[in-house]
Structure 1
Amino acid sequence: MTLDREELRDGWTVTLAGGTGAPDGVAGRAIPASVPGQVHTDLEREGLLPDPTFHLNEQAAGWVGRADWAYRRTVDVDPRGHERVDLVCDGLDTVAELSLDGVVVGTTRNMHRRYRFDARVQSGASGPGSKDLEILFESPYREAGRVAAKAGSMPGPYDEPFPYVRKMAANFGWDWGLTAVTSGPWRPVAIERWSTARLREVRPLVDVEAGEGVLDTHITVERSGPSRFGENTADLDQDGEDDDLVLVVTVSGTTEDGGATRQRSRAQLTPKDDETVVTVRVPDARRWWPRGYGDQAQYDVVVELQTVDGEVLDRDTFRTGFRSTRIDTQADRVGRPFGIHVNGTLIDVRGVNWIPDDVIVSRVDRSRLESRLRAAASLGTNLVRVWGGGVYESRDFYEVCDELGLLVWQDFPFACSAYPEVEPIRSEVIAEARDNVARLARHPSLVVWNGNNENIWLHDADGWGSSLGDRGWGLDYYLDLLPTIVDAVDPSRFYTVASPWSGDESLPANDVDHETHHSWDPWNRLPDTAYRESVPRFVSEFGWQAPPAWRTLREGVADDVLRVDSPGVLHHQKAADGMAKLARGIEPRFGTVDPASFDRWHYLTQLQQARAVATGVEHWRTHWPRNTGVVMWQLNDLWPVSSWSAIDSAGRLKPLAHELRRLYDDVLLTIRPVSDVAADVTAAGARTGGPDRPDHAADGSETAELGTLADTLSFGVSPGAFGASPVEIAVRSSRSGQDSVVRVRRVTTAGAILAEVSLPVRSERAGVVVVALPESVGVVDDPTNELIVADMDWHRAVWTPGPDHSMRWAPAQYRTTFTPFDGGLDLIVEADSLVRDLLVQPDRVSPTGAVDRGFMTLLPGERVVFRITGVAETDVPALRSEPVLWSLDRVLAR
């Protein structure tokens, strides 16, 4: 009989089972519960808890995480003709005891694992049938306290005990997050009935050999022999019955020439065998490519476990793609690179860091994941790093990345702290790592496993050793345990010890010349121009803060009037000294801002975020191949907060997101100062193009995708150098060659042309082309009244030599017209003078208002179309008014 799975989604209640601080009406009440779910959502729905993400409510919800909670429902454990009945839990958050009719069948202490328990309980009830299932969740704080008492104090930046429990660290607050410590069955709970045997584990590993796709499917089966009642049967060896079993793996898809293929392979398991490898070879397999490098070809895979008579006992179906991967960290004349190669091609990585999309992570469904990831892809992203303070994401997340061609860098969940190596934590880390490395092996998008986020770097930089003494703090996990598990379970993926990591314990972990680097001195203590002082080999974190969209913040706080220093706005800023850092970032370019001038502050923080990120990305990407990747912190948010995100928690795109679309384009046009750093990189070969093999474009797929960009003009917000030093043009092209012309103009702040030149931009292959500029356009005479504008094809870069607050901006002169379309309005702006950093914020007019562009700079006679959705023709007067439609000169004039 085929395995039967029955998900237990309905009929649940949750009850307070211990703890203090609960408001009236909670104790003794059986609250209807959603499963999958977490208790915060159930309490909110019943009006027993205010939304912790709103205003100051976080403070009133802290009691929830310190309470115990009992989830209950009746379950049918009748085997219905099967030999085995299992209670299967795909995710329990976090410390739980499970019982059926009062008989304990299992315990858990790890949010990040899957569990399976024998449900064949013999209790006071006679025979099989309905039984009362209870999952009793203990407060994570209590478990953390027990481990902390055994392990001792673990140093870290936050006064919360997340290192002592295997749970999503971001539940305990972060410098962009609130504290909302959750409990509950956060992933599905099911009853599974089966006989003879089931598929215990399916690990498909792919490669490409001489054009042939190779799928090695590592399969382990569990037989239905007697189990030891009450233990996690996923961790037990079973005594097998005397039956031969047959495994059949089928791969179906299309061949390189568009035809169909169906390849099948079989293996037989004797009663003494519970595991094997089934290999399927697919001739002329279409390759899976990262976004922008080719198609995301995938093949359907069916794994069936059968009896020798052909009866199907269990089945696993999924899609995968054939590709080869390699990470190059071999030493060169500079240090150690970190080059991600897919199918033999060095990838120009344009990435974003991903955090959980909600502090109540069970609320994040496939639709929401797909919305965020599609938005990331539309911005030019080709890699998503799943950060180590969150979770191993759902199957939906990785499937969407597979479909979109988004490479995945996956952190193990260790972030920004020392972690104890004592039991029971060590055993949990082993089980968790093995479970998830095996679970994610089927996804072609996954290319990197990372041991931890910043733990080794902070250990040295913050002097943790003096307080730790000889106690383990996680280093054994990162250097030995985790790489051993990855090598054993999925040797097809690369493992890196940490982010950042320099490849050798003898080197500082965050050395710019070796492997991966986090660039946080800019933002924390230096101006963003400091990004230009070095060229890290691969930047896996950097970023700049800004508040969320105006509407998102307005809906997230209860302040009568929004001010920079109003209570709700301040509470929704979690970074240490965050508001002062925002002010220090604004001041060099734009001057000081009165806290009462919220609209002005909001505009300038958005502009500064875009300018700062542009400073780093333009510099690093135009020093290819010394730098092979940039991963911006961060893509998304989990509540309405001032943070480094490009997309806020409501899904609204900040102006930074639109700027990323320019920065992450396959062709990036920049104006940059002529510098010693650039000359140094010349010796490394970046100025004339690196070894970026163009063979990925042989089928024309890349060219076809790039062609879709031709209908829009891309305007940059290139930062200024705050001086009249000479500049040059640098073009980073991921295309296989560049043959174009760049038009460079030196203009006044009113838009009058002072000098103009057109210069060729040519290269044989993808890489970087540096174009020297004649003094007439490469050096300004008056840094308070001149700027430089460069245009190439549909790309624009703007260079402001002086700080904006010292520029003598002429009043922007432009005309606006509106044309309705189904779903919104096109706003056409026609410039009669220079218009610097024009921004449209339709969310200020309508909650559904959105726009397809960020800051735009126009020269006299130019026009641009802002496509605005979610608004009506009656909104036209408001859309024309300030601060909905605002330019930099008007903001600075206030």
Structure 2
Amino acid sequence: MSFRELSHGWMLQHVTGDVPPAFASIATRAIPATVPGVVHTDLRDAGLIPDPYVDDNEQLLAWIGHSAWAYETTFAWSPDDESVHELVAEGLDTVAIVTLNDVEIARTRNQHRVYRWRVDGILREGENRLRVEFASPIAFAREREAVLGERPHSYVHPFNAIRKSACNFGWDWGPALVTSGIWRRIGTESWSGCRIAAVRPQTGVGGDPRRLRVEVEVQREALGPVTVRAEVAGTMLEAVVAEEETTAVLETVVPDAELWWPRGYGDPALSALVVTAGMDRWERRIGFRAAEIDTTPDDEGTPFVVRINGRDVYVRGANWIPEDTFFPRVTRDRLAERFDDATQAGMNLLRVWGGGIYESDDFYDLADERGILVWQDFLLACAAYSEDAELWGEFAAEAHDNVTRLSSHASLVVWNGGNENIWGWVDWKWRPQLKGATWGDGYYQRLFPAIVAELAPATPYAPGSPYGFTRYVHPNDPAHGTTHIWDVWNQVDYDVYRSYRPRFVSEFGFQGPPAWSTLFSVVHDEPADPYGPLMLVHQKAVDGNGKLERGLGAHLPVPQTIDDWHWATQLNQARAVAFGIAHFRSLHPLNRGAIVWQLNDCWPVISWAAVDSHGIRKPLWHALRAVFADRFASFQPRGGEPVLALHNDRDDDWEGAAVVRRMTLDGAERARAEMPVHVSARGSAILIVPDAVTSAIDTANEVLVADLPGSVRALWFFDEDPALALDAAAVTAVAEVAGDGYEVTVTARALAKDVTLLVDRVHAAARVDRGLVTLLPGETAVFRVRAPGGLDPAAFTVAPVLRSANDLVEGARIPSGAIVGT
């Protein structure tokens, strides 16, 4: 068998659609194209359009999604010893007519499927011409909506009428840069005798992590028995596929298999599985693990407990969106950087959200290798979907393709029916609009669970997120199953997180801008202004900047300059999310995890992400690293007084003593208590602090400090920052060249809250190892900066690079009417 990728010699042509006069030349010329790729990146590479991410170029280039385009190449072919020849397209975006040598091969209408067509009689010796013509996805979606019936959906375009990534039509964090193109590999494949059409390995069958079930599908040129063999971890299996059959199932216990564990619970051991059938060979690394989701009702409602190899896993996770609006630009190296961001922040799960894509093999390979659990949504989000035969057949085909493709990955532990659609049907006034029409319930309750049960029976399935797992409860009831918390951010102060007692939070978050260098690489308002017209192009949330401003609440003062606006809103984002997670962890074991919205961005934008699209970790990322630590302590109000809530997410007991001090912001100790600490492995505890320690005399000038074994610290302030006696001159800093960068040493003479270096303001390539460091009087912190040589080290020691909450409070003492630009 041989696969020949067709990646060279492609040309792109505009077919139909209005082209603005500024781009008129595009309509009349052939343009060199990259495959895999999309129209926008090809036009950009040819210098024919500006960067779609800059200023208001999104709107300037909207015509591209309203146009039809064609990709064409020629390739040489000559007959060989193989007898079957197929054209294989691993990803066409989206509505395409495929012709080979002027013969129509197929018409496609699903971005999320793999297509395979036999072309024996069409290939010819010598030069062959392959053409893929794409219709406008916007026009097609509107056309199908007219046929299938209008159904509720988010945003402008009817993405629920076409099988294309929903967020590609625009979302509250993403641009409407609607793509067309050959976005995954395309090529010819030749074979003889038989071909391995699919291999679906499953471990954990029946709950035994070492029990392996391998289902092998074969495609044959002629009838006759086929011997299928599988070998893994010293165990050999064999079966014969009779001539009237196409599938073999091999199942056994592999006694010598090492188990795969998520990070923090053991090694993510992988074993090579080799499958052969005739002359064909398939090889992957698999992990032996048993995955379970426990939703057994209890006295508190319905839990949602992820269990791997019989052990409960407390989930510290993030939601994942596509890493770039233009999917083919996402490389394995870029994904590896995001996995570094996840693991170094203490995460153990990524949820691949249902408005994006079924992620790449590279993504899943990295998850397997790093021990990161993956929750993969089926691709339905924030909309009602027709269950007519047209869409039902496409959903069935894409689910079959992707469950098969991803079934070998140990990291994949949840298939989820979709995002917020069941909640939408209950709460978002869909039913009057639908008037009894189908809305997608058949997919969540019948189609998807049946496909998962057939093709990946050892992988858990959930009908949706949020979902209560009990028929007669609200789908977003915090007492049952998974919960999305969005009144915080949209409507109320983040202290409302403490009113929730959720079993599992699968979405929640708070916005903040990207790094300064990222934001102002694409926003060029003069002067810079949070409400500037180009800034608002990069703020997709409804009234997003208004919510940012109102979200400061009593927590931080109203910023007076664009520099302070940027820092204050980044800081408030970090604090809001950390506040929520600290509360959720204090509820353990009632609460079994949280998945923050979101880890990453797809373009430079004000959003909920912890890492911006240039790979710069926002202050939120540093907050997540702190609150996702294996051992975590926080002060929480119980009965009107702060108690110390401890969570030990490690395999050994947490023992020693907690020293709790009440002290002034300039370092004078006013009360102290020492309490024994014993928190069992994977356990939690509440310590009651004596009243003499928790009762403040001067709320503006006092803080509670708890120091615990393992350098764990918790802080409690008796008032919000604007009321605190924070000193803007609390720190001094010195910097020097060190290794491949710089070291910045910051020393506090009074309490310095949330000291952070915004190092990209010195150089866009600069990165720093820590942030949001609160220093007590006399304490020192060393910040290590990776940055190009030749920079002035002193630039890292002054504003607007060196920031803290202290200087925001001091800045607010200067009267001013509004935020001003620089």
Interval of TM-score (by shorter of Structure 1 and Structure 2) = over 0.9
* C-alpha RMSD of matched pairs (Å): 1.5
**CA–CA distance in 1 between the matches of 2:526 and 2:231?**
62
Residue 136 of structure 1 deviates from its aligned partner by 0.6
Residues 90-119 of structure 1: CA deviation (Å, up to 9, x unaligned): 111000010111110111100000000112
- Verify the 8 A CA contact 1:212 1:283 in the aligned structure 2: no
- 1:877 equivalent to 2:776? Answer no
Residues 155-178 of structure 1: CA deviation (Å, up to 9, x unaligned): 123121110100001111111111
- Verify the 8 A CA contact 1:349 1:630 in the aligned structure 2: yes
**CA–CA distance in 2 between the matches of 1:846 and 1:530?**
38
Aligned letter for 1:496? A
**CA–CA distance in 2 between the matches of 1:551 and 1:817?**
23
- Verify the 8 A CA contact 1:351 1:630 in the aligned structure 2: yes
1:136 is matched with which residue?
133
1:620 is matched with which residue?
584
1:145 is matched with which residue?
142
1:247 is matched with which residue?
228
Residue 286 of structure 1 deviates from its aligned partner by 1.1
Q: Which moved more, 1:726-735 or 1:828-837?
A: 828-837
Give me the identity figure in percent.
42
2:109 is matched with which residue?
109
- 1:298 equivalent to 2:262? Answer no
Match of 1:325 among 281, 291, 312: 291
**CA–CA distance in 2 between the matches of 1:396 and 1:772?**
48
- Verify the 8 A CA contact 1:447 1:494 in the aligned structure 2: yes
Q: Which moved more, 1:274-283 or 1:769-778?
A: 274-283
- Verify the 8 A CA contact 1:518 1:541 in the aligned structure 2: yes
Match of 2:17 among 16, 19, 25: 19
Match of 2:648 among 718, 730, 733: 733
2:449 is matched with which residue?
483
Q: Which moved more, 1:100-109 or 1:809-818?
A: 809-818
Residue 554 of structure 1 deviates from its aligned partner by 1.4
**CA–CA distance in 2 between the matches of 1:662 and 1:579?**
27
**CA–CA distance in 2 between the matches of 1:551 and 1:432?**
40
Match of 1:456 among 403, 416, 422: 422
Map 1:348-363 to 2 at 5 A.
348-363=314-329
**CA–CA distance in 1 between the matches of 2:633 and 2:122?**
72
1:118 is matched with which residue?
118
Q: Name the SS of the counterpart of 1:174 in structure 2.
A: coil
Q: Which moved more, 1:787-796 or 1:84-93?
A: 787-796
Q: Name the SS of the counterpart of 1:590 in structure 2.
A: coil
**CA–CA distance in 1 between the matches of 2:27 and 2:209?**
63
Residue 669 of structure 1 deviates from its aligned partner by 1.1
Residue 889 of structure 1 deviates from its aligned partner by 1.8
1:809 is matched with which residue?
726
2:98 is matched with which residue?
98
Distance 1:195 1:20, change over 3 A: same
Aligned letter for 1:250? E
- Verify the 8 A CA contact 1:96 1:108 in the aligned structure 2: yes
Residue 816 of structure 1 deviates from its aligned partner by 2.2
Aligned letter for 1:146? E
Q: Name the SS of the counterpart of 1:424 in structure 2.
A: helix
- 1:380 equivalent to 2:346? Answer yes
- 1:585 equivalent to 2:551? Answer yes
**CA–CA distance in 2 between the matches of 1:424 and 1:287?**
42
**CA–CA distance in 1 between the matches of 2:270 and 2:568?**
45
2:473 is matched with which residue?
507
Residue 592 of structure 1 deviates from its aligned partner by 2.2
**CA–CA distance in 1 between the matches of 2:538 and 2:584?**
32
- Verify the 8 A CA contact 1:655 1:853 in the aligned structure 2: no
Q: Name the SS of the counterpart of 1:415 in structure 2.
A: coil
1:890 is matched with which residue?
807
Residue 813 of structure 1 deviates from its aligned partner by 2.9
**CA–CA distance in 1 between the matches of 2:208 and 2:106?**
48
2:54 is matched with which residue?
54
- 1:284 equivalent to 2:281? Answer no
1:155 is matched with which residue?
152
- Verify the 8 A CA contact 1:353 1:631 in the aligned structure 2: yes
- Verify the 8 A CA contact 1:77 1:119 in the aligned structure 2: no
Residue 823 of structure 1 deviates from its aligned partner by 1.2
Aligned letter for 1:385? R
Residue 214 of structure 1 deviates from its aligned partner by 2.5
- 1:787 equivalent to 2:703? Answer yes
Aligned letter for 1:8? L
Match of 2:211 among 205, 210, 214: 214
- Verify the 8 A CA contact 2:646 2:679 in the aligned structure 1: no
Map 1:495-894 to 2 at 5 A.
495-594=461-560, 597-675=561-639, 725-735=640-650, 736-792=652-708, 793-872=710-789, 874-894=791-811
2:818 is matched with which residue?
none
Unaligned runs of 5+ in 1: 225-240, 253-261, 307-311, 676-724
**CA–CA distance in 1 between the matches of 2:604 and 2:3?**
38
Residue 871 of structure 1 deviates from its aligned partner by 4.4
Aligned letter for 2:204? D
- Verify the 8 A CA contact 2:735 2:797 in the aligned structure 1: no
Q: Name the SS of the counterpart of 1:65 in structure 2.
A: helix
**CA–CA distance in 1 between the matches of 2:468 and 2:92?**
36
Distance 1:210 1:338, change over 3 A: closer
Residues 645-665 of structure 1: CA deviation (Å, up to 9, x unaligned): 000000100011111111111
Q: Which moved more, 1:275-284 or 1:61-70?
A: 275-284
**CA–CA distance in 2 between the matches of 1:502 and 1:862?**
47
Residues 143-162 of structure 1: CA deviation (Å, up to 9, x unaligned): 21221111221112312111
**CA–CA distance in 2 between the matches of 1:305 and 1:79?**
24
Residues 814-850 of structure 1: CA deviation (Å, up to 9, x unaligned): 3323243221011111222211221111100011111
- 1:436 equivalent to 2:417? Answer no
Residue 797 of structure 1 deviates from its aligned partner by 1.8
- Verify the 8 A CA contact 1:350 1:380 in the aligned structure 2: yes
1:688 is matched with which residue?
none
Residue 359 of structure 1 deviates from its aligned partner by 0.7
**CA–CA distance in 2 between the matches of 1:277 and 1:78?**
37
Aligned letter for 1:601? W
Residue 142 of structure 1 deviates from its aligned partner by 2.2
Q: Name the SS of the counterpart of 1:155 in structure 2.
A: coil
Residue 354 of structure 1 deviates from its aligned partner by 0.0
Aligned letter for 1:797? A
Distance 1:208 1:115, change over 3 A: closer
Residues 240-283 of structure 1: CA deviation (Å, up to 9, x unaligned): x233322121114xxxxxxxxx2222222232221111235421
**CA–CA distance in 2 between the matches of 1:757 and 1:562?**
50
**How many pairs align?**
807
- Verify the 8 A CA contact 2:209 2:259 in the aligned structure 1: no
Residue 377 of structure 1 deviates from its aligned partner by 0.8
**CA–CA distance in 2 between the matches of 1:593 and 1:847?**
24
